[in-house]
Structure 1
Amino acid sequence: MAAEKNRRITDLDELKALGHPLRLRLYRALNVAREATASMLAEQVDEAVSLVSYHLRKLAAHGLIEEADRPGGDARERWWQLAHRGVSTRDRDFRDSPEGVAAHTALSRVAARQREEMYESYLDSQAGWEQEWRDVAFGSESLIWLTASELGQLKGEMEALVAKWQAHGRAAREADTEGRENVALHVYGFPFRTGPVVEETA
C-alpha cells in the first residue's frame, strides 16, 4: 500500500528519473488511476507496452512507484501504484551544483509544459462536458504587488486550502463516486519584472 505522505525529492538521480517526459506522464496517469498495469498505461499515453514497462521499472528502481499487492490477480501481469501519496521538489535542494540546478529546471519545464497541454486538452474538449462542469471550470491570472515574505505566506495559505480539499476528495472517493471527476488545479506564484519604460522623444 502506498505511503500516506508526500515524498520530497532531494536526490539528484531521483530528480533526473522523474524528469523524463514520458515518466512524468506515467507518474501522473498512475496517480489518477491509483493502480494500473503497463498495458493500461500504454493505452493512455499512446506508447508501446514494452517502452512503458521499461520506464515504469526505472521509476520503481528509484522508489517512486511500487508493485501493487493484488491478491488473486493474474500473476503474469504486474500492477503498479505510487510509492507515496505524491512527490514534491524544491529549488533550494539542488542549488549547490550546476547539474542540480539544470536538472531541477529541466523537470520544472517538462511539468509546466504538460500542465499546459492538460489545460489545452480541456479547452479543446470543453464543449463535450456537461454545463455544470463548464460553469465552474476556471483559469485566471492575478498580478499582485508583494514582498517575498508575503508571497511565502500566500503560498502557505493556498497549500493549506488545497490540502483540505485533497483530504475531502480522498475520503469521498472511498465512499461516493457519483458526480465526481478528476480535477486538475495548477497554481504558480513567481516574481517578474517589466522591462524599462522607453520614453518617446520628439
Structure 2
Amino acid sequence: MAREETRPITDLGTLKALTHPLRLRLYRLLYIAGTATASQLADQVDEAVSLVSYHLRKLAEHGLIEEAERQSGDGRERWWRPSSQGVTVRDKDFRDAPERAAAHLAATRLFHDQRAEMYRRYLDERATWSAEWNAAAPDSESLVRLTAGELDDLRAELMALLRRYEDRSRSAEAAGDTAGRENVALHVYGFPFRV
C-alpha cells in the first residue's frame, strides 16, 4: 500500500488516540525506524510487549500505522509502519467546539513536553557526541516583530526548506549513502507574545 505524504488529523478520536503519551512515543519511534515489531519497540520504551501491542493496535485502528511486510521468517511477529510520511495537527481544525479545542490544547502540550524531553536528553548526552555534531546542532532564539501574515510566510518557507532536506536525505539513503547520518530532530516554534 502506498503511504500518504502527510496525514492531517482533523477528527477528535484520532487526535485522542495519538496523544496518549506512550502511543506518541511509539509512533515517533516507529517513524524513525520505518518498520518495527512490538517486541523491538517494547525494548526501547521499557514496557511489556503486550502493552505495546495493545497501543500499536489502537494506533492502527485510527489509521496512523499499518501492518508492514514481514522482515524476518518468524511468522508470529507482526511488523508495523507509519501509514503516512507524518501527521499534521492544526489549531484551526479543532476550534469549532470547546471539547475539541481542549483536546487540541492537551495534545499540543504533550507534543511540546516530549520534544523538550528529547532536547534535554540530547543536552545530557552532549558529551558523547563529536565536536562536529555539537557545532552543527543549532540552539538559537530570535525575537522579531512580525505581522501574522509574515509569520505564516516564514513558517511556509521554513517548512519548504525542511522538506527539501527530507527529500535529499531519503534519496541519499535509498542510494545507500548512510555514512555519517544520524536521526536529527528539528523543532521550530513561532508564536506571538507580549511583555
Pairwise TM-score range, normalised by the shorter structure: over 0.9
Q: Is residue 8–residue 89 contact of structure 2 (8 Å, CA) maintained in 1?
A: yes
Change in 2 beyond 3 A, CA 1:130/1:183: same
Aligned residues: 194
Aligned counterparts of 2:83 and 2:126: Cα–Cα separation in 1 = 33
SS of the counterpart of 2:142? coil
* Pairing 1:47–2:78 present: no
Give the structure 1 partner of residue 120 of structure 2.
120
Which segments of structure 1 move beyond 3 Å, counting only runs of 4 or more?
Answer: none
Matches of 1:139 and 1:38, distance apart in 2? 34
Tell me the secondary structure at the aligned position of residue 100 of structure 1: helix
Q: Which ranges of structure 1 fall in alignment gaps of 5 or more residues?
A: 195-202
The one-letter code matched in structure 1 to 2:130 is E
Q: Does 1:154 align with 2:166?
A: no
Q: Secondary structure of 1:192's partner?
A: coil
Contact kept? 1:26, 1:41, Cα under 8 Å: yes
Contact kept? 2:71, 2:79, Cα under 8 Å: no
In structure 2, how many angstroms separate the alpha carbons of the residues matched to 1:177 and 1:68? 22
Q: Is the 8 A contact 1:2 1:82 kept in 2?
A: no
Larger-gyration structure (1/2): 1
SS of equivalent residue, structure 1 residue 70: coil
Structure 1 match to 2:33: 33
Q: 1:69 to 1:62 in 2, by over 3 A?
A: same
Q: Extract unaligned runs of 5+ from structure 2.
A: none
Aligned equivalents of 1:180 and 1:81: distance in 2? 21
The SS at the match of 2:120 is: helix
CA distance in 1 between partners of 2:164 and 2:116 (Å): 25
2:17–2:62 contact (8 Å) kept in structure 1: yes
- Give 2:61's aligned amino acid: A
Q: CA deviation at 1:84?
A: 0.6
The answer to whether the 8 Å contact 1:4/1:84 transfers is: yes
TM-score normalised by structure 2 residue count: 0.96
8 A contact 2:4–2:83 mirrored in 1: no
